[in-house]
Structure 1
Amino acid sequence: MRDLKNGRRELNADSRWSGTNRPARRGNDGAPSRAGIRAENRRRRRRRALLIFYFFLFFTVVSAAVAVSLTVLFKIDTIQVGGTSRYTQEQIIGACGIKKGENLFLAKTRQSEKQIQARLPYIGSVKVRRKFPARISIQVAEAQVCGAVESSGKYVVLGDDFRVLEMADKLPQSCVLIRGITLKSPKEGKTAEFADKSLQSSLTEVERALKSNGLKNITGVDFSSTSKILLTYEGRVTINLGMPSDLDYKISFAKKLFDDGEIKSTEKGTLNLSTAGDNDTAYFDPASGS
């Protein structure tokens, strides 16, 4: 309102404040007016609506990106095989269950590893890995053979983890024959179940001691008597280990005797180490005519 007499003009509250800068109107007691409260509530609703809109926009963009990557991008174009194995690359790729053209992210690598070992038992270890942008890498290693156990007219070839590698009609060449052990319904590709768990432990300890001490050329193992474990060395010397105790010492003792020529490479007979853990003494009985 203008005061025409003295040239002054009066400014009311609405002309000084506008838009979002306008404070909520207050009543005579200083509290916000109803109109101010309604304006503030409208602003809050607008902000909430904007947040929801931006969230759904972000979600839509991300979903579209994922959909594109799973349907168009990262399609497998190469499957590579590395390592040593008696199987061909074609056999390993065929057993893995992963095909070219599949999406790299959807490839079931853990399941593929299990399939390869189940279908190709002589593979001891296998790693299946995704390699960006579009490659599958399969790394394999040959299974280490522990020996063979005769069962129901077959020779059950065991790996060093006691997985059944093969059910052979005859003993494979250079395979250690393990006697005195019974297996329950062995199946190729599956871990063998021992009828006597204590013999499984004894076999494990003998294998460990042979490897750690480097005694090779063992052609037979016999657990027919639990108090008289027998090894056959080069098909010519029977090693009597006695009880399954002090195996590391007994086997290292035997290796030293062979390495030092105490038992000649032409000799046959029996090397008794059953009491070596107690008296540090071994006894060798040559076979007649040796």
Structure 2
Amino acid sequence: DDIIVSLPVKLEDNLYSFRADELETGLKKRFPYISEVNVTRKIPSHLNIEIIETDVAMYTEISGDYYLLSDGLRVLDRIGDPAIIPQGTMELKTSAVKRCIVGESASFIDSRAYDAIVELYKNITDSGIKNKIKTIDMTSRFDIYIHYEDRFKVYMGDMEYSDIKIQFLIGIIEKLKAEDKGRIDVSDYHVATATLS
């Protein structure tokens, strides 16, 4: 209903001068949870809008506010109460954020951080362990940590071969007992170490 109210055209309006691309861009900016919009029109007065919503992939905390992010780091919402963050949402700790505005993509002082975060999140998701990762700590692109459940602090090192490192991590965890906890170092994808506590 909010989307219909926000449309620049009203019921039975003439659509000859209507620009679908402007509407698509405007809807995505006004409603951040929309990941894709496809607007088609049938002259003179029919408009079809298809919308795909995005899910919250992770959140980051900046100066006491919590920003909900999509998998592509689009800022979906800003909230003050961490209790509102959806259960099981991954926390992202990162270097200095340059810009974090609802409806736009987050940007970072270190411009390479954006690609690194998106790539690591994709590798985690593609490997099927997204629900097991509690935190991605990319405060430094060269000293990346992830927290696997409440069991392991995993040192990834840098982003080089991160997809292989994730697979290596999965193989290590499969060989450990369910009650094992500690630190795992997969920074060298040839040799890993696990220190159990």
What range describes the TM-score normalised by the shorter chain of this pair? 0.7 to 0.9
Q: 1:166 aligns with which of 77, 93, 100?
A: 77
Give the aligned residue type for 2:56.
V
The structure where helix makes up a greater share of residues is 1
* TM-score, with structure 2 as normaliser: 0.87
Q: 1:271 aligns with which of 170, 179, 184?
A: 184
Work out the CA distance in 1 between the residues paired with 2:3 and 2:179: 44
Work out the CA distance in 2 between the residues paired with 1:92 and 1:257: 48
Work out the CA distance in 2 between the residues paired with 1:175 and 1:92: 27
Alignment map for 1:106-185 (pairs within 5 Å):
106-131=17-42, 134-171=45-82, 172-173=85-86, 174-185=88-99
**2:16–2:44 contact (8 Å) kept in structure 1:** no
Alignment map for 1:188-267 (pairs within 5 Å):
188-217=102-131, 218-258=133-173, 261-267=174-180
Question: Deviation per CA, 1:96-132, whole angstroms, max 9, x where unpaired?
Answer: 3332121132322111111211111011111111135
Work out the CA distance in 1 between the residues paired with 2:115 and 2:10: 41
The structure where strand makes up a greater share of residues is 2
Work out the CA distance in 2 between the residues paired with 1:265 and 1:103: 64
Work out the CA distance in 1 between the residues paired with 2:68 and 2:109: 16
**1:98–1:112 contact (8 Å) kept in structure 2:** no
Of structures 1 and 2, the larger Rg is shown by 1
Greater RCO (Cα-Cα under 8 Å, separation 6 or more): 2
Structure 2 partner of 1:281:
191
Work out the CA distance in 1 between the residues paired with 2:46 and 2:81: 41
**2:95–2:140 contact (8 Å) kept in structure 1:** no
Consecutive unaligned residues of structure 2, counting only runs of 5 or more, are none
Work out the CA distance in 2 between the residues paired with 1:133 and 1:121: 30
Consecutive unaligned residues of structure 1, counting only runs of 5 or more, are 1-89
Instruction: Report the CA distance between 1:155 and its aligned residue.
Output: 1.0
Question: Deviation per CA, 1:70-99, whole angstroms, max 9, x where unpaired?
Answer: xxxxxxxxxxxxxxxxxxxx1222233332
**2:73–2:118 contact (8 Å) kept in structure 1:** no
- Match of 1:184, SS state, is strand
Give the aligned residue type for 2:92.
I
Aligned length, in residue pairs: 193
Alignment map for 1:3-82 (pairs within 5 Å):
none
Percent identity among equivalent residues?
27
Q: 2:12 aligns with which of 95, 101, 108?
A: 101
CA RMSD of aligned residues (A): 2.0
Work out the CA distance in 1 between the residues paired with 2:183 and 2:47: 54
Give the aligned residue type for 1:209.
N
Work out the CA distance in 2 between the residues paired with 1:160 and 1:131: 34
